[in-house]
Amino acid sequence: MAKSKGTIGILTGGGDVPGLNPAIRAITVRALREGYRVLGIRRGWAGLVDLTPDAQADNAEHVVELGEDLVTRSARTGGTFLHTSRTRPSHLPRSRVPERAARAYVDETNDVTPLVLENLDFLGIDYLVPIGGDDTLSYGHRLHKEGIKVIAIPKTMDNDVPGTNYCIGFSTCVTRTIELTHQLRTSAGSHERFLIIEVFGRYAGFTALLPTLAGAADRCVVPEHPFDIDHLTELLSYDRSRNPSRYAVLLISEGAQLLGADKMMFEGDETDQYGHRKLGGIGDRVAALLKERSAQYNNGRTVNVISQRLGYLVRCGDPDALDSIVPMAFGNIALDLILAGRSGRLVSLSSGHYTDVPIDVVTASKKVVDVEKYYNPDRLRPTYTTFQGQPVFLVTGD
């Protein structure tokens, strides 16, 4: 039996998106054919925290050896068969510290990176491939600084990972947003209402901007620029009056803020290990304010409102064509880098070309919509001067 060239570990962290399983498959199939062993780390960084570095221990809940049959079957579906979590080993609550290490980590929040490094060594992982957003990949960057050979792959519905024009999951999110918005139009038109649709986007408004640019909505509100509710009401009332079916559509990012508000809207006070509270409610809040103000712009008659939060409807299910193809390419680029002996890289798509950049870019900046270049705050609409020479998804954030 030929000796293995080494061991590659793969994990997925943060929220699930369509396209993760195709990426896992691409890495695994190519790696196996190149002579590597491939391990899937389960539940993101949690697998590397909870694993017990003992050959006699049952670690089936934390790691699985990947074969071609398993990854090929899984690649036909959405989500991640390796499962995922928002575990952050550098900021782990005491309640989440494994029992075997409880005496060593007694603070309310602990940096258990030594445990992770110990477990990576126990598994014999030569290269680690985390697939995730900027939170997951920021810890990948931490491990890179600790000397682990890391090749990162970007995924997020928001398309907000710096250093790449495209993240796995974004195309499916935009596709579903357009489809669902058009389906909801029938109800909005039947009742002559405003239709307010809340979409993903904590800090970046790409998922509201692109569908609006594609004609899914009359107006959009993004996190990068606070909006005035009276101005919004006036614009939507104008749109509604010009529509033969007497309705108007707004896409609003979950992280959008009313002018004068000092914070985003959240579902509760609980935070995850990355310090994020769960966003939600701006759509309903704006819907109530629109109804309250609508009579001023509708000859004294109130306009009722449909408020819909898309949420997991755009995150679940199978990937679209682009989120089946791009993950395949990203996975193969990861293997190219490994075969070349390179690490500390982020697989990237820039100006329509596949490439890679230093992983440091993940923590160096925030990727948000360039308001001056792509968004008109007066009209609450996307703006552009020309499509000539623009990348396929137009709004890059670079």
Quick one: CA dihedral 118, 119, 125, 131, positive or negative? Answer: negative
Q: 95: which residues sit within 8 A by CB, 6+ positions away? A: none
Please state the rounded mean pLDDT for residues 56-81: 94
List C-alpha distances in Å: 16 to 79, 199, 227, 282.
5, 16, 30, 23
Cα 288 to Cα 270: distance, rounded to the nearest angstrom: 25
Between these two residues, 351 and 145, which has the higher pLDDT value?
145
List pLDDT tens digits, range 2-16: 567 999 999 999 999
List pLDDT tens digits, range 146-166: 999 999 999 999 999 999 999
- Minimum mean pLDDT range among 109-113, 290-294, 386-390: 386-390
pLDDT for the residue 365 = 86
Identify the bridge partners of residue 11 per DSSP, sorted by sequence position.
130
- Do the two domains 7-168+319-364 and 170-316+371-382 of this chain adopt the same fold? yes
pLDDT for the residue 261 = 78
User: Is the separation of the CB atoms in 281 and 265 below 8 Å?
Assistant: yes
The structural architecture, per CATH, of the domain 170-316+371-382 is: 3-Layer(aba) Sandwich (3.40)
Confidence of residue 76 (pLDDT cuts 50, 70, 90): confident
List pLDDT tens digits, range 240-283: 999 999 999 999 999 999 998 776 655 666 665 655 555 668 99
DSSP code of residue 303: P
Return mean pLDDT, the chain.
93
Cα 33 to Cα 84: distance, rounded to the nearest angstrom: 26
Backbone angles phi, psi at 89, to 5 degrees: -60, -25
Q: Where are the domains positioned within the chain?
A: 7-168+319-364, 170-316+371-382
Catalytic residues: 158
Helix 282-293 to helix 229-242 angle, to the nearest 10 degrees?
70
Please state the rounded mean pLDDT for residues 295-300: 96
pLDDT for the residue 25 = 97
Query: Does the structural domain 7-168+319-364 have CATH classification 3.40.50.2300?
Result: no
pLDDT for the residue 98 = 95
Confidence of residue 366 (pLDDT cuts 50, 70, 90): confident
pTM of the model as a whole: 0.92
Confidence of residue 1 (pLDDT cuts 50, 70, 90): very low
Please state the rounded mean pLDDT for residues 343-362: 94
pLDDT of 368 > 50? The answer is yes
Q: How many CB atoms lie within 10 A of CB 34?
A: 13
pLDDT for the residue 386 = 78
**DSSP-based three-state secondary structure for 271:** strand
Strands 248-253 and 92-93, how do they pair? unpaired
pLDDT for the residue 267 = 63
3-state SS record for 118-150 = HHHHHHCCCEEEEEECHHHHHHHHHHHHCCCCE
pLDDT of 398 > 80? The answer is no
pLDDT for the residue 284 = 94
- Minimum mean pLDDT range among 38-42, 70-74, 137-141, 176-180: 70-74
Percent of the chain with pLDDT over 90: 84
